[in-house]
Amino acid sequence: MTATRTAAEAGLLGSAFRDAFRHHPTGVAVVTARDGAGVPVGFTASSVASVSLAPPALVLSVSHRSSAAGGVLAADSFLVHLLEARNVDLARRFATSGADRFGPGTGWTPLATGEPWFPEAPTALRCRPLARTPVGDATVVTAEVVGIRSSGRRGTPLLHHDRGYHALGPLP
């Protein structure tokens, strides 16, 4: 096999992989932290999963293409805001390159520990990284959940599917 053909095959596999996960619905979260200079950073994530109950832990993937990647990966702690359908504007803002994510009127406030918090999100998990593992064009972060802020609200879940946001409703 030539290197060109191998690259072409890798491209086809990557495209098929992207298409497969485009049709696999996932929950939506916004991850926020302070970078080394104390500037708030964040991104929308659809790659968050629980890992352990004792201790509470989760895993998420941080794309190196995200402008917030460096700040979140270097942070000693971060928040994972689990979103509902009513939070779709927050998800879109943090998924849009160049958006004013923390500007006036965005409704965030810093926690006493410094992380940017969006009270409109029904649940925010305060996390401390346990491991950061580079994998291709991303870094997989395993983190211990050290605190939870919950509004107690349980609204309609927000999902990401086929490059768009959707609300999950009950089956008939």
Domain coordinates in residue numbering, the chain: 26-154
Identity at 19, one-letter amino acid code: D
pLDDT digits (tens, 9 = 90+) for 32-89: 999 999 999 999 999 999 999 999 999 999 999 999 999 999 999 999 999 999 999 9
- Which residue in 95, 111, 104 sits closest to 31, CA to CA? 95
Of 14-23, 61-70, 95-104, 160-169, where does mean pLDDT reach its minimum?
A: 14-23
> Is this structure's pTM higher than 0.75?
yes
Name the CATH architecture for the domain at 26-154. Roll (2.30)
Question: Which residues are within 8 A (CB) of 70 and not within 5 positions of it... i.e. 6 or more apart?
Answer: 35
Residue 1 has pLDDT above 70, yes or no: no
Identity at 160, one-letter amino acid code: H
- Which residue in 141, 17, 135, 125 sits closest to 80, CA to CA? 125
pLDDT score at 133? 97
